Copies of this chain bind each other. A is one copy, B any other.
Amino acid sequence: MKLSRDDVAKLAGVSPTTVSRVLNNRGYISATTRQRVQDAMETLGYYPNELARSLSNNKSNLIGLIFPSLTNPFQMELISYLERILSRQGYKILICNSHHNQEEEKNFLSMLRRHQVEGVIVNSMNENLADYLIPDLNIVSIDRKINETIPVISCDNYAGGYLASQHLINQGCKKILYIGSITNDKHVDMDANKRYQAYKDSIKVAGLKPITLDMDFSISYQEKYQLIKQRLQSQSIDGVLADDSSAIATINAARDCKLSLPSQLKVVGFDGAELTLQHMPFLTTIRQPILQIAQNAVSILLAMINGEPYQSITNLPISLYQGYDNCI
């Protein structure tokens, strides 16, 4: 005989609605009631088929996350927060790693749609994403403008780029290198491009010349490291502004080039994930408000799902984290 939730309700001495609420992790349920329902389910060995429920409810409780990498501290912290916030709201997370590959991203979007996800949070950095958007799929984008209709969440990248540039200028740096994806600007509208604008503006006001190392964000750490090392060897740079991964590569390359930090070279990163600051407390960096980015992405996605109004938020506050004496 197939067990139903009525059997669970009967054994637990609660209403079938209460059983549903426990199963859906929605609404207020006292700890005692929850426990009674769970005990009854365990005693009976009742595991309702969520797939069948999703189909009949037309509500999958699934959210997809598409990220270009799962081993970058910023992205992992973001995923960790998104998972925590969404799972407390009763959602389950399907995770997709596109490895910076456009085709994989496209396939994942389609797979997620087929799996009836209620929404997708995407931290994509590929071109032409707009070309293969799926109608009726709720999407929130982190850090990247995809088209006019998809909301974007990001920190205040201009303020971050400005603060980092000022920090180097105030310390007397004269030859400040900006490392980032510059030519890519044409194709991919990253909010992070505003960092470059802020750098150019600051440099100009300070009467300095911009120096850039155009580097695609999808290349490996080893490639970054080699490109940065070559640049440090060939040009007398005294300040560097970059994302954390490139900033760390710069610090490691400087060591190889026998440049001493901070006397000969000062570095400011961008991201400031918890793990990075714990492990490398010497790194000076612009901290992104990663928890707030996650909270806002979820709020907006839920607003979309519920048919409520929403808008992009691209000015979440950044701050300067000053590493101890800015050197290892």
- The residues of B that contact A73 with a CB separation of less than 8 Å are 71, 275
Question: Cβ of A243 < 8 Å from any Cβ of B?
Answer: no
The reply to whether B71 and A80 contact each other, CB–CB distance below 8 Å, is yes
* Nearest 10 A/B pairs, CB to CB: A70-B80, A50-B114, A221-B278, A95-B95, A50-B115, A328-B328, A47-B113, A83-B97, A71-B76, A248-B279
Contact of A54 among B45, B51, B92 (CB under 8 A): B51
Question: Cβ of A141 < 8 Å from any Cβ of B?
Answer: no
In Å, the complex CA distance between A69 and B113 comes to 28
- The residues of B that contact A83 with a CB separation of less than 8 Å are 70, 95-97
How many residues on the A side are at the interface (Cβ–Cβ under 8 A)?
A: 58
The reply to whether B84 and A77 contact each other, CB–CB distance below 8 Å, is no
- The residues of B that contact A60 with a CB separation of less than 8 Å are 51
Q: In the complex, which residues 272-312 of chain A have their Cβ closer than 8 Å to any Cβ of chain B?
A: 273-276, 278-282
In Å, the complex CA distance between A94 and B41 comes to 23
The reply to whether A115 and B279 contact each other, CB–CB distance below 8 Å, is no
In Å, the complex CA distance between A48 and B79 comes to 28
Q: In the complex, which residues 16-62 of chain A have their Cβ closer than 8 Å to any Cβ of chain B?
A: 23, 38, 41-42, 45, 47-52, 54-55, 60
- The residues of B that contact A111 with a CB separation of less than 8 Å are 50, 92
In Å, the complex CA distance between A45 and B113 comes to 11
Copies of this subunit: 2
Question: Cβ of A166 < 8 Å from any Cβ of B?
Answer: no
Question: Cβ of A209 < 8 Å from any Cβ of B?
Answer: no
Beyond A47-B113, A83-B96, A279-B280, list 9 extra A-B contacts (CB 8 Å): A23-B114, A47-B110, A50-B115, A51-B55, A70-B80, A71-B273, A73-B275, A93-B96, A94-B94
17 A-B pairs, CB-CB below 8 angstroms?
A47-B134, A48-B114, A49-B114, A50-B114, A51-B54, A51-B55, A52-B55, A70-B80, A71-B80, A71-B275, A72-B275, A87-B96, A87-B97, A92-B111, A93-B96, A276-B279, A328-B328
In Å, the complex CA distance between A161 and B275 comes to 25
In Å, the complex CA distance between A23 and B111 comes to 9
In Å, the complex CA distance between A55 and B273 comes to 41
Question: Cβ of A116 < 8 Å from any Cβ of B?
Answer: yes
In Å, the complex CA distance between A279 and B275 comes to 11
Question: Cβ of A4 < 8 Å from any Cβ of B?
Answer: no
Q: Shortest Cβ distance from A258 into chain B, in angstroms?
A: 13
- The residues of B that contact A93 with a CB separation of less than 8 Å are 94-96
In Å, the complex CA distance between A52 and B56 comes to 10
Question: Cβ of A204 < 8 Å from any Cβ of B?
Answer: no
Q: In the complex, which residues 114-153 of chain A have their Cβ closer than 8 Å to any Cβ of chain B?
A: 114-116, 132, 134-135
In the complex where A84-B99, A92-B111, A281-B252 touch, is A50 in contact with B116 (Cβ < 8 A)?
yes
In Å, the complex CA distance between A94 and B86 comes to 13
In Å, the complex CA distance between A154 and B135 comes to 44
